[in-house]
Amino acid sequence: MATPVAAVLPAKDEADRIGATIAAVRTIPGVDLVVVVDDGSTDATAEVASAAGAVVARHERNRGKGAAMTTGAARVAEAESAGQRAGTLVGGPRPLLFVDADLEASAANLGVLVPPVAEGGADMTIAILPPQRTAGGGHGFVVRLARDGIERLTGFRATQPLSGMRCLSRDAFEAALPLARGWGVETGLTVDVLRAGMRVEEVPCELHHRVTGRDWRGQLHRARQYRDVWLALRSRRRRGRRGRARG
């Protein structure tokens, strides 16, 4: 029998894709709980997610990906407690499988992230995506900032440091709290889990999502990413210096 797993999908304005993504996630062996965090959407994301069978938590205003992930994990813990009392949900605490809401049918391939964590071989797995079908993307500045920063702080050189598709044990997730703000969350997660002495494994995964373009909106998105990754790294450098000073 597959280990029970909770999938958490942070989402903003994904009404057109969230239904297909949830349907695909529900086919992953072990996934018995899907939580969608509607992070201030202005469309029908919450309604579509609920109709697709997900537990929905909603932020009235956009609070960023890190806050959405934290809310999702808290809602998983609440659902586990309520399900155990009612006898409708067994096991726990579940590994947390974080899923980007725009993956649609390809989200079914995320199952490869679960076994290393469920079987105790890793505390966090990170999906490595293939080249995307849709052209676009930036020039790699944010990726290099994150990759080089993670390596300087931990010695680990990440293949795709900004990959948002991850499976974590509950202990690994809690070791990284509070999560870095906004788009710095993946960088912060990697640094914090490794600094806690836990094991990280990268896993190739056939996933495809909407690629950010190179128009002004795409450039603004990448500028925000760069800011948040830089802030996540800076706070962890300072934390490391304080730790060495105390030692």
In the prediction, which pLDDT does 213 show? 55
**Residue showing tokens 């809401």:** 101
Domain ranges of the chain: 5-246
Banded model confidence at residue 222, pLDDT cuts 50, 70, 90: confident
| Predicted confidence (pLDDT) at residue 246 exceeds the cutoff of 70 | no
Q: What percent of the chain has pLDDT over 70?
A: 89
Give the predicted TM-score (pTM) of the model.
0.90
pLDDT digits (tens, 9 = 90+) for 44-93: 999 999 999 999 999 999 999 999 999 999 999 999 998 888 877 777 78
| Superfamily (CATH) of domain 5-246 | Spore Coat Polysaccharide Biosynthesis Protein SpsA; Chain A (3.90.550.10)
Nearest one of 200, 195, 165, 187 to 231, comparing CA atoms: 187
| Predicted confidence (pLDDT) at residue 136 exceeds the cutoff of 60 | no
| Predicted confidence (pLDDT) at residue 245 exceeds the cutoff of 50 | no
3-state percent helix, strand, coil for the chain, nearest multiple of 5: 45, 15, 40
